[in-house]
A = this chain, B = another copy of it.
Amino acid sequence: MRAGQSQPIRWTILGSGTSAGVPIIGCRCAVCRSDDPRDRRLRCSSSLETVDAEGQHRLILFDTSPDLREQALRHEMMRCDGIFFTHHHVDHLWGLDEVRRFNAVMGEGIDIYAEDSMMRNIRRVYPHIFEREQNTNDSFVATLQPNRIVVGEAVELFGLLIEPLRFLHGRLPILGFRVDHADANLRGGADDPLPLAYCTDVSAIPPETWGRLTGLKTLILDMLRPRHHPTHFNVDQAVATADQIGATATYFIHMTHDVCHAELDAELPAGMSLGFDGLQLGTLPVAD
C-alpha cells in the first residue's frame, strides 16, 4: 500500500454470460439482437486487482473463460499474479492457454489454485503445459505453478485472504470464493467491495457454507434465467438466496439470452443488480 493506511481494491466482471454467451450462435431473438452493450455477455470470469505492500499492482483471475483473450484486450491487462478456479467446465477453464502472454510480458510463472479434482482436469486438458517434455515440438507454452486449495483454508496473497467455499452446481461440488483484507485495519476507500463472495454456477448452498456468507459488502451470484434449471439458480432462487445472505450489494451473473438487462434489472429488489461485462467495483488508483 502506498499510503500504508488503505489497500485499494478493484473487482471487474470480465464476463457475465452463460456457457454459450449472449448473443448465442444462430439466434435472432430480441436480446441476441439487442443494442444494449449490457446484453452482450462473454463467458464468466472476474479479476481482482490490488496494490500490494511493496506498491506493486497485482491482478488475480477467477477462472479463465474461453473469452479470456478478448477480456484481457478490452481491459488492457498486462499481468496475472494468480488464478483461482471454481470448476472444470469449458466455459470456466478453456481460456487457460492465453495466459502464456502474461508469462512472456512478466517474465514469470503464474500460480494457479485449484482443488485436487480440478487440478486433475486441468492437467488432462492441458498436458502440453504440465508434461512439456512430451510435446512433439518445443513450442511456447504457459508456465504455471500448481497450488492445492482446500475448502475453508484461506490463501493469503498480496494482503488479501481468499477462502475457498463449497457450492453445488447440480450434483457437482464446485468452489466459490470469499475475499477479505488480510489486515482488517487496511480497508480500501468508501467504495471498497470487500468482503466479497464470488459464487458462480450455483444451484445449492451446503449448510457449512452459510456461515461464511455473513457480513458481505458484495455478493456476486449465479442467476441463469427465469425458468428453472437443474444446475443453476433461476431468477426467483437467486433473489431469494441473495435476500437471505443480505450483502450490502448483490450482482447477478451467468445469464442467458432469456434475460434482457434493462427489463429485469429494473424489477430487482433494492441492493440487487444485474452484473454486466466490464462492471467494476472499487477503485484502483495506480495501474502499471
Q: A: which residues have CB within 8 A of B?
A: 19-21, 23-27, 66-67, 69-70, 72-73, 77-79, 90, 94-95, 97-98, 100-102, 104-105, 124-125, 128, 136-139, 169-172, 230-231
B25 and A137 contacting across the interface, CB-CB below 8 Å:
no
Nearest CB on B from A116, distance (A): 16
Q: CB < 8 Å: which of B66, B97, B136, B171 contacts A69?
A: B66
User: Please, which residues of chain B bring their CB within 8 A of the CB of A124?
Assistant: 124-125
Copies, count: 2
Q: How far is the CB of A30 from chain B (nearest CB, A)?
A: 16
**Smallest Cβ distance from A218 to chain B, in angstroms?**
27
Distance between A15 CB and nearest chain B CB, rounded to angstroms: 12
Q: Could you tell me the dominant secondary structure of chain A's interface residues?
A: loop
24 contacts between A and B (CB under 8 A): A20-B98, A20-B100, A23-B73, A24-B101, A25-B72, A25-B73, A25-B102, A26-B72, A26-B77, A26-B78, A26-B101, A66-B66, A66-B69, A66-B95, A70-B70, A125-B125, A136-B170, A137-B169, A137-B170, A137-B171, A137-B172, A137-B231, A139-B170, A139-B231
Decide: B136 and A171 in contact? CB cutoff 8 A: yes
B137 lies within 8 A of A101 (CB) = no
Instruction: Report the minimum CB–CB distance from A143 to chain B (whole Å).
Output: 15
Complex CA distance for A69 and B65, rounded to whole angstroms: 13
User: Which B residue sits closest to A70, measured CB to CB?
Assistant: B70
By the criterion CB–CB under 8 Å, are B69 and A21 in contact? Answer: yes
Bound: A138/B72 CA distance, A: 32
Q: Do the beta carbons of B136 and A25 come within 8 Å of each other?
A: no
Bound together, the chains give a CA A27 to CA B100 distance in angstroms of: 13
Task: Give A135 Cβ to nearest chain B Cβ, in Å.
Answer: 9
Residues on B with beta carbons closer than 8 Å to the beta carbon of A128:
90
